[in-house]
Amino acid sequence: MEDRGIDLEDRLADLETANLKRSLSPVDRIAERGHFAPPAAGDLPVLDSTDALVFASNNYLGLTDDERVQDATRQAAATVGTGAGASRLVTGDTLVHHDLERLLAETKATERALTFSSGYAANVGTITALEPDVIFSDEYNHASIIDGCRLSGAESIVYDHCDAGDLRSKLEARAADDEHADESWLIVTDSVFSMDGTVAPLAELCDVAEEFGAWVMVDEAHATGLYANGGGVVQAEGLEDRVHVQLGTLSKALASQGGYVAGSSELVECLINDARSFVFSTGLTPPAAAAASEALHVSRHSDVRERLWENVAHLRDGLETMGFEVPGDSQILPVVIGDRRDALALADGLRSRDIVAPAIRPPTVPEGTSRIRVVPIASHDQQDIVTCLEAFRAAGQDVGLL
Ligand code: PMP
């Protein structure tokens, strides 16, 4: 009989050979995040973890273990329940969701906001629901944007990373042909790019969009909670009235899980009806919604953002002084190494010094630009930053990079 099965063994072996195989951490290398003994574990031995400083998470404000956020989560679980129990349009709608959506809309200065079960679901659901004819997309946009573009069936035109000039020439070329006169156009970009730390030139992108009457959608996954008033780059640059769709995740600075879209009432009504990842997916869990609300509140009304930006400046300065190349202009510090083996060796050297900052390799980043994505968070103290810098110096010397 012929073998019509799927050959996973070969696929995994190829990845291994190319130094591109990813794995979850062995349990004895998972950094300590507090002791959790699940009551349902029965006879299974309780897993133990190690002490290490994590310098690679998206928990930018360090709020996943903030007492206020944890209290809000516990309270929502105890009063409203652990799960929504159904999609929002059936019986999964709760006041906790509406509270969060009001706070998001206020922070983003939009009429309304809507939450999704993840940022991924928000991107895929929104882009498909908008049904644009053509999408102009930054070449480094997140995979969930790319998947949304593909699923929407729209024609996608990719412009050079953060290049408003290239975007303009692509719009011009398209507009030159009368055949395209009736098309709807959507320009979509991340605001802060997660692997490069670059910040999109949003005002310039809006200028170009307005010249051609196109819509602009901005994914603020890595900016929400970090910029002006706890908003994103759109708020920092006062572009609320020029960006049609503001989107993001609750899973990074907001210390929770889920995604959101903020914009006009019409936009939200459209998504409630047509975004399949909203309509056909269970509502966000009430504890997740409550955690995000509280985290957003903390971001807006404490010094937590200042502490993050101080740590970013200290770490960037230390890495650059040592001689590492650290491009970008945000809280994400990509230490670009180049060769994937060197990047893996550096990450291993850091890990053996109790610093967790894994190597990022192709296909996540282009060939020849493997890197360590270093991210300080607001709850790191000065000594943590110094410890991280010392580990970089020692591991960098071991690998021959310094
Ligand atoms: N957009 C961007 C730019 C992201 O980086 C991510 C997550 N890495 C997402 C969307 C997806 O968000 P979530 O993790 O909530 O699905």
125 and 152 together in one domain: yes
What's the 258 CA to ligand 1 centre distance in angstroms? 9
Return d(Cα 242, Cα 234) in angstroms, integer.
9
Task: Give the nearest ligand 1 atom to 251 CA.
Answer: 15
307 and 293 together in one domain: no
Provide the residue range defining the domain that includes 349: 45-65+303-399
Give the pLDDT score at 238.
Answer: 98
**What is the number of other CB atoms lying within 10 angstroms of the CB of residue 29?**
12
What's the 328 CA to ligand 1 centre distance in angstroms? 19
Ligand 1, pocket residues at CB < 6 Å = 118-120, 123, 142, 144, 190, 194, 219, 221-222, 249, 251, 259
Q: Which of 149, 251, 257, 284 to mutate to test the pocket of ligand 1 (most atoms within 8 A of CB)?
A: 251
pLDDT in tens, 143-156: 999 999 999 999 99
Q: Among all residues, which ones are annotated catalytic?
A: 194, 222, 252
Q: What CATH number is given to the structural domain containing 210?
A: 3.40.640.10
Q: Which of 120, 126, 141, 222 to mutate to test the pocket of ligand 1 (most atoms within 8 A of CB)?
A: 120
pLDDT in tens, 268-317: 999 999 999 999 999 999 999 999 999 999 999 999 999 999 999 999 99
Would you say residue 319 has pLDDT above 90? yes
pLDDT in tens, 90-117: 999 999 999 999 999 999 999 999 999 9
220 and 357 together in one domain: no
pLDDT in tens, 141-199: 999 999 999 999 999 999 999 999 999 999 999 999 999 999 999 999 999 999 999 99
Give the pLDDT score at 33.
Answer: 67
Task: Give the nearest ligand 1 atom to 193 CA.
Answer: 3
- By alpha-carbon position, which residue is closest to atom 1 of ligand 1? 221
> How many domains is the chain built from?
2
111 and 98 together in one domain: yes
> In terms of pTM, does the model score above 0.90?
yes
Which region among 30-44, 47-61, 62-76, 314-328 has the lowest average model confidence (pLDDT)?
A: 30-44
The answer to whether residue 97 is domain-embedded is yes
Last residue of a domain, one of 301, 321, 344: 301
Last residue of a domain, one of 301, 317, 343: 301
Would you say residue 39 has pLDDT above 70? no
265 and 319 together in one domain: no
Average pLDDT, the chain: 94
312 and 190 together in one domain: no
